[in-house]
Amino acid sequence: MNQTIKTHQFQSGQTLEIAQGDITDETTDAIVNAANRYLEHGAGVAGAIARKGGPQIQAECRQWVRDHGLVSHASPAYTQAGNLPCRYVIHAVGPIWGEGDEASKLEAAVIGCLEVAEQLGLRSIAYPAISTGIYGFPKREAAQVMLSTILRYLITNPASSLKLIRLVLFDQDTLQAFSEQWELDDHLRA
């Protein structure tokens, strides 16, 4: 069971949370996969999702790429969740640190996932710390970009179908970076 560490409910009734644990255990309507643009899942979050979700996820991803082409930062793919306890996996392509314009690309990936969730009529979504693993995005910078992007979305979309957004963080260093960023934001301390 993933442990909720921080929670904030907005006047709109929407809730933002930080949790520590394994995103593959989340029961939200969708979880976000930190994917590559080819949707080939080997290591990290993507590998864990593919292993636990079963071969259906990788098969659907390959079909997505055949049908739609490579996945961009701003236009994530989505698949059914296979054996996972959620309904969908939204496959977001985060930036590789050092390729340039990383913050804008990460912001686009986060917003793209929210837009896909809206299109699917989902009520809840869980994100990992996109790009902070093998893609090398510094955890503190990723926390700032992800939290500010999600906050801006919630504040400007109070009628959104999304009522719960969770950031599910696996390791202590990432949890600390996101928790520290949370404490710096006026909207979350209020």
Q: Identify the three-state secondary structure at position 4.
A: strand
- The half-sphere exposure of 4 on its side-chain side, counting CA atoms within 13 A, is 11
pLDDT score recorded for residue 159: 93
61 pLDDT band, cuts 50/70/90, is very high
pLDDT score recorded for residue 38: 96
Distance CA(73)–CA(116), nearest Å, equals 13
pTM of the full structure: 0.95
| Mean of pLDDT values over 14-25 | 97
pLDDT at 12 over 60: yes
pLDDT at 190 over 60: no
pLDDT score recorded for residue 186: 78
pLDDT per residue as tens digits for the range 76-133: 999 999 999 999 999 999 999 999 999 999 999 999 999 999 999 999 999 999 999 9
Joined tokens for residue 186? 């006026």
Q: What is the mean pLDDT of the chain?
A: 95
Q: How far is CA 57 from CA 13, 18, 103, 105, 179, in A?
A: 32, 26, 28, 24, 31
What residue has token string 């970009």?
145
Joined tokens for residue 127? 């994100």
pLDDT at 189 over 70: no
pLDDT at 140 over 70: yes
Distance CA(122)–CA(18), nearest Å, equals 19
Q: What percent of the chain has pLDDT over 70?
A: 98
Distance CA(169)–CA(100), nearest Å, equals 25
Count Cβ atoms below 10 Å from residue 74 Cβ, excluding itself. 16
- For the chain, which domains are there? 3-184 (3.40.220.10)
